[in-house]
Amino acid sequence: MRKRPPQRAKRPCLVGSCKEYASNGGYCDKHQDKIKKKDRERGTAHQRGYGAEWNKQRDQFLNENPLCADCGKRGYIVPATVVDHIVPHKGNEVLFWDQTNWQPLCESCHNRKTATEDKGGWLYQRSTVKANRDSVNEFQVGQVVITATDYIRDALDCDDKEQFTITEIDGKTIQVTNGLEGGRYHHSHFKVVPV
């Protein structure tokens, strides 16, 4: 009997309320449009500052610093192909052009750093609002709420007018549903429907 190689574990879809497994890019088949949405929100390379002037400065920097800094720390000699921002600039022009914040990296070191440190980059059009951990939860079960942050709109794949009903409360966490989508989230991502 021939042994089969071990199978990679299935990963859940990145949409918090989805129960399906990811098929491509971290999303299930139903939520594949999220990938295109994130790409649109991120903006073009030019919108993020990587235009002709950047290319000129980048080439000059790589000519002066031809070896990957991370590989060099591990004793390897590998050509650098990417100019990395040590502290992610996230749209800050001063930090973007500050050459003391640049380092030469090979593509694999840069991809590893981006994936672990700044989780794939930043959004060109808007920043993420985090939950207010110190806020007081004054919601009641059965109350109708709408989303208050971009984070939760992305998680629930909705707009700022879609209404959700609170079905359960556990401390600062509320369970919401609109009949199709829902999940458990920090209460500060929601607000009461205006009268």
Does the structure show a pLDDT above 90 at 80?
A: yes
Digit-coded pLDDT (tens) for 10-28: 777 777 677 788 777 677 8
Task: Measure the CA–CA gap between 136 and 46, rounded to whole angstroms.
Answer: 42
Q: What is the DSSP letter of 5?
A: P
Q: Are 110 and 64 contained in the same domain?
A: yes
Closest alpha carbon to 146 in 125, 169, 166, 131: 166
In a domain? residue 4: no
Does the structure show a pLDDT above 90 at 87?
A: no
Domain span including residue 31: 11-43
Average pLDDT over residues 57-81: 92
In a domain? residue 3: no
Report the domain count for the chain: 3
In a domain? residue 33: yes
- Among 27-36, 116-125, 146-155, the minimum mean pLDDT is found in 116-125
In a domain? residue 136: no
Q: Are 63 and 29 contained in the same domain?
A: no
Q: Are 34 and 90 contained in the same domain?
A: no
Pinpoint the alpha helices (H) of 23-120.
33-42, 52-64, 69-73, 93-97, 107-116
Q: Are 75 and 57 contained in the same domain?
A: yes
Task: Measure the CA–CA gap between 23 and 84, rounded to whole angstroms.
Answer: 30
Please say whether the beta carbons of 53 and 193 come within 8 A: no
Q: Are 26 and 57 contained in the same domain?
A: no
180 confidence band (pLDDT: 50, 70, 90): confident
Q: Are 65 and 93 contained in the same domain?
A: yes
Task: Measure the CA–CA gap between 53 and 96, rounded to whole angstroms.
Answer: 12
Average pLDDT over residues 91-119: 82
Digit-coded pLDDT (tens) for 119-138: 544 444 444 455 666 788 88
pLDDT recorded at residue 186: 86
